[in-house]
Amino acid sequence: MQPTERTQVRRLPERGHYDRETINAVLDAGFLCHLGFIHEGRPVVIPTAYGREGDTLYVHGSAASRTQRALAEGIDLCITVTHLDGLVLARSGFHSSMNYRSAVIFGKGKQILEDERKAHAMAVVSEQIFAGRWAEIRPPSPQELKGTSVLEVPIVEASAKIRTGPPKDDEEDYAMTVWAGVVPVKHGWGEPIPDSRLPKGIPVPEYVKKFRW
Protein backbone atom coordinates (compact mmCIF):
# COMPACT_ATOMS: atom_id res chain seq x y z
CA MET A 1 0.00 0.00 0.00
CA GLN A 2 1.15 3.55 -0.62
CA PRO A 3 2.31 5.61 2.38
CA THR A 4 0.04 8.47 3.40
CA GLU A 5 0.62 11.69 5.28
CA ARG A 6 -0.14 9.80 8.50
CA THR A 7 1.74 6.56 7.81
CA GLN A 8 4.90 7.98 6.21
CA VAL A 9 7.88 7.12 8.45
CA ARG A 10 9.89 10.32 8.80
CA ARG A 11 12.33 9.50 11.58
CA LEU A 12 14.83 6.97 10.11
CA PRO A 13 12.68 6.37 6.99
CA GLU A 14 14.83 3.41 5.92
CA ARG A 15 13.13 1.41 8.68
CA GLY A 16 9.68 2.00 7.22
CA HIS A 17 7.75 -0.68 5.36
CA TYR A 18 4.46 -0.30 3.52
CA ASP A 19 3.93 -3.68 1.87
CA ARG A 20 1.11 -5.85 3.19
CA GLU A 21 3.34 -8.88 3.66
CA THR A 22 5.54 -7.09 6.20
CA ILE A 23 2.64 -5.36 7.95
CA ASN A 24 0.66 -8.61 8.19
CA ALA A 25 3.69 -10.45 9.55
CA VAL A 26 3.95 -7.96 12.42
CA LEU A 27 0.22 -8.21 13.14
CA ASP A 28 0.17 -12.01 12.96
CA ALA A 29 3.07 -12.33 15.39
CA GLY A 30 0.94 -11.08 18.29
CA PHE A 31 -2.55 -10.56 19.65
CA LEU A 32 -2.26 -7.51 21.92
CA CYS A 33 -2.60 -4.01 20.52
CA HIS A 34 -3.00 -0.50 21.87
CA LEU A 35 -5.97 1.40 20.53
CA GLY A 36 -5.78 5.19 20.64
CA PHE A 37 -8.48 7.79 20.02
CA ILE A 38 -9.74 11.16 21.21
CA HIS A 39 -12.75 10.98 23.53
CA GLU A 40 -14.48 14.13 24.77
CA GLY A 41 -11.40 16.17 23.90
CA ARG A 42 -8.95 13.91 25.75
CA PRO A 43 -6.51 11.31 24.40
CA VAL A 44 -7.27 7.70 25.38
CA VAL A 45 -5.12 4.61 24.76
CA ILE A 46 -6.57 1.20 25.60
CA PRO A 47 -4.79 -2.19 25.42
CA THR A 48 -6.96 -4.91 23.90
CA ALA A 49 -6.80 -8.21 22.01
CA TYR A 50 -7.22 -8.30 18.26
CA GLY A 51 -7.47 -10.73 15.38
CA ARG A 52 -6.63 -10.29 11.71
CA GLU A 53 -8.53 -11.82 8.82
CA GLY A 54 -7.41 -10.75 5.38
CA ASP A 55 -7.43 -6.97 5.21
CA THR A 56 -9.56 -6.56 8.33
CA LEU A 57 -8.63 -6.24 11.99
CA TYR A 58 -11.21 -7.16 14.63
CA VAL A 59 -11.26 -5.80 18.17
CA HIS A 60 -13.94 -6.52 20.72
CA GLY A 61 -14.97 -5.55 24.22
CA SER A 62 -17.96 -4.95 26.43
CA ALA A 63 -20.91 -3.28 24.73
CA ALA A 64 -21.07 -1.01 27.78
CA SER A 65 -17.44 0.13 27.57
CA ARG A 66 -16.54 3.71 26.81
CA THR A 67 -14.07 2.58 24.16
CA GLN A 68 -16.54 0.54 22.14
CA ARG A 69 -19.31 3.14 22.38
CA ALA A 70 -17.00 5.93 21.23
CA LEU A 71 -15.42 3.99 18.37
CA ALA A 72 -18.78 2.71 17.17
CA GLU A 73 -19.57 6.32 16.29
CA GLY A 74 -16.91 6.17 13.57
CA ILE A 75 -14.32 8.48 15.11
CA ASP A 76 -10.70 8.34 13.98
CA LEU A 77 -8.56 5.73 15.69
CA CYS A 78 -4.98 4.51 15.70
CA ILE A 79 -4.00 0.91 16.42
CA THR A 80 -0.40 0.02 17.28
CA VAL A 81 1.25 -3.38 17.68
CA THR A 82 4.84 -3.65 18.93
CA HIS A 83 7.24 -6.57 19.47
CA LEU A 84 10.47 -5.99 21.40
CA ASP A 85 13.29 -8.20 20.05
CA GLY A 86 16.35 -6.88 21.86
CA LEU A 87 18.11 -4.07 23.70
CA VAL A 88 20.86 -2.40 21.68
CA LEU A 89 23.71 -1.19 23.87
CA ALA A 90 25.81 1.29 21.95
CA ARG A 91 28.98 3.07 23.04
CA SER A 92 26.98 6.22 23.63
CA GLY A 93 23.59 6.88 25.13
CA PHE A 94 22.50 8.67 22.00
CA HIS A 95 22.95 5.60 19.78
CA SER A 96 21.64 3.05 22.28
CA SER A 97 18.38 1.68 20.98
CA MET A 98 16.08 -1.32 20.73
CA ASN A 99 15.45 -3.93 18.07
CA TYR A 100 11.74 -4.06 17.39
CA ARG A 101 8.93 -4.70 14.93
CA SER A 102 5.93 -2.40 14.98
CA ALA A 103 2.82 -1.69 12.94
CA VAL A 104 0.52 1.31 12.97
CA ILE A 105 -2.97 1.38 11.49
CA PHE A 106 -5.08 4.51 11.04
CA GLY A 107 -8.76 4.46 10.22
CA LYS A 108 -12.25 4.13 11.61
CA GLY A 109 -14.01 1.20 13.22
CA LYS A 110 -17.38 -0.11 12.09
CA GLN A 111 -19.56 -1.90 14.60
CA ILE A 112 -20.71 -5.39 13.64
CA LEU A 113 -24.37 -5.84 14.50
CA GLU A 114 -25.28 -9.23 13.02
CA ASP A 115 -24.88 -12.03 15.58
CA GLU A 116 -23.43 -14.46 13.05
CA ARG A 117 -20.75 -12.03 11.87
CA LYS A 118 -20.06 -10.95 15.44
CA ALA A 119 -19.51 -14.54 16.55
CA HIS A 120 -17.22 -15.09 13.57
CA ALA A 121 -15.14 -12.03 14.47
CA MET A 122 -14.86 -13.26 18.07
CA ALA A 123 -13.63 -16.59 16.72
CA VAL A 124 -10.97 -14.79 14.67
CA VAL A 125 -9.70 -13.01 17.79
CA SER A 126 -9.71 -16.27 19.77
CA GLU A 127 -7.84 -18.13 17.04
CA GLN A 128 -5.26 -15.33 16.83
CA ILE A 129 -4.35 -16.16 20.43
CA PHE A 130 -4.93 -19.93 20.57
CA ALA A 131 -5.39 -21.58 17.19
CA GLY A 132 -7.77 -24.52 17.69
CA ARG A 133 -9.37 -23.29 20.91
CA TRP A 134 -12.62 -21.96 19.45
CA ALA A 135 -13.70 -25.40 18.21
CA GLU A 136 -13.49 -26.84 21.74
CA ILE A 137 -15.16 -24.20 23.88
CA ARG A 138 -18.82 -23.30 24.22
CA PRO A 139 -19.96 -20.75 21.63
CA PRO A 140 -21.30 -17.42 22.92
CA SER A 141 -24.93 -17.34 23.96
CA PRO A 142 -27.37 -14.76 22.53
CA GLN A 143 -27.08 -12.79 25.79
CA GLU A 144 -23.29 -12.85 25.61
CA LEU A 145 -23.35 -11.69 22.00
CA LYS A 146 -25.64 -8.86 23.01
CA GLY A 147 -23.23 -7.82 25.74
CA THR A 148 -20.25 -7.83 23.37
CA SER A 149 -19.35 -5.11 20.91
CA VAL A 150 -17.11 -5.97 17.97
CA LEU A 151 -15.47 -3.50 15.63
CA GLU A 152 -13.98 -4.21 12.23
CA VAL A 153 -11.17 -1.95 11.12
CA PRO A 154 -10.07 -2.10 7.46
CA ILE A 155 -6.29 -2.24 7.03
CA VAL A 156 -6.01 0.33 4.27
CA GLU A 157 -3.79 3.00 5.86
CA ALA A 158 -0.91 1.31 7.66
CA SER A 159 2.85 1.05 7.95
CA ALA A 160 5.46 -1.03 9.71
CA LYS A 161 8.73 0.08 11.26
CA ILE A 162 11.50 -2.39 12.04
CA ARG A 163 14.98 -2.17 13.54
CA THR A 164 17.42 -5.09 13.51
CA GLY A 165 21.13 -5.58 13.95
CA PRO A 166 23.98 -4.28 16.10
CA PRO A 167 24.65 -0.78 17.43
CA LYS A 168 25.48 1.93 14.91
CA ASP A 169 28.02 4.10 16.66
CA ASP A 170 29.94 7.13 15.52
CA GLU A 171 33.14 5.92 13.87
CA GLU A 172 35.43 7.49 16.47
CA ASP A 173 33.55 5.70 19.29
CA TYR A 174 34.48 2.23 18.04
CA ALA A 175 37.91 2.67 19.66
CA MET A 176 36.35 2.96 23.13
CA THR A 177 36.98 0.14 25.62
CA VAL A 178 33.34 -0.23 26.59
CA TRP A 179 31.16 -3.26 25.87
CA ALA A 180 28.60 -2.84 23.11
CA GLY A 181 26.19 -5.25 21.50
CA VAL A 182 22.64 -6.60 21.63
CA VAL A 183 20.81 -8.28 24.48
CA PRO A 184 18.15 -10.44 22.76
CA VAL A 185 14.67 -10.64 24.23
CA LYS A 186 13.32 -14.18 24.46
CA HIS A 187 9.57 -14.69 24.75
CA GLY A 188 8.28 -17.81 26.44
CA TRP A 189 5.37 -19.24 28.36
CA GLY A 190 5.30 -21.09 31.64
CA GLU A 191 3.82 -24.45 32.55
CA PRO A 192 0.00 -24.43 32.13
CA ILE A 193 -1.81 -24.25 35.50
CA PRO A 194 -5.06 -26.26 35.49
CA ASP A 195 -8.22 -24.74 36.90
CA SER A 196 -8.86 -25.96 40.45
CA ARG A 197 -12.29 -27.22 39.35
CA LEU A 198 -11.00 -29.08 36.30
CA PRO A 199 -11.96 -32.79 36.52
CA LYS A 200 -9.02 -35.17 36.74
CA GLY A 201 -7.86 -36.86 33.57
CA ILE A 202 -8.37 -33.95 31.16
CA PRO A 203 -5.04 -33.48 29.38
CA VAL A 204 -3.50 -30.21 28.28
CA PRO A 205 -4.53 -29.70 24.61
CA GLU A 206 -1.82 -30.01 22.00
CA TYR A 207 -2.40 -26.43 20.82
CA VAL A 208 -1.61 -25.21 24.35
CA LYS A 209 1.56 -27.28 24.46
CA LYS A 210 2.64 -25.88 21.11
CA PHE A 211 1.79 -22.36 22.24
CA ARG A 212 4.25 -22.70 25.12
CA TRP A 213 7.14 -23.02 22.70
- Give pLDDT tens digits for 156-197: 999 999 999 999 999 999 999 999 999 999 988 888 899 999
Q: What are the pLDDT digits (tens) for 102-152?
A: 999 999 999 998 999 999 999 999 999 999 999 999 999 999 999 998 999
Burial of 24 (0-12, 13-18, 19+ CB in 10 A): middle
Beta strands at 56-62 and 42-53: parallel, antiparallel or unpaired:
antiparallel
User: Which alpha helices (H) appear in the chain, and where do they start and end?
Assistant: 20-28, 66-71, 115-129, 142-146, 206-212
Percent of the chain with pLDDT over 70: 99
- Quote the CATH superfamily of domain 13-168+182-212: Electron Transport, Fmn-binding Protein; Chain A (2.30.110.10)
Cβ 27 vs Cβ 57: under 8 Å: yes
Task: With H, G, I as helix, E, B as strand and everything else as coil, classify residue 44.
Answer: strand
Cα 87 to Cα 92, 120, 180, 184, 211, distances in angstroms: 14, 38, 11, 6, 25
Q: What is the pLDDT of residue 87?
A: 98
Q: Taking the domains of the chain in order of start, what are their residue ranges?
A: 13-168+182-212
Q: How many CA within 13 A on the CB side of residue 93?
A: 0
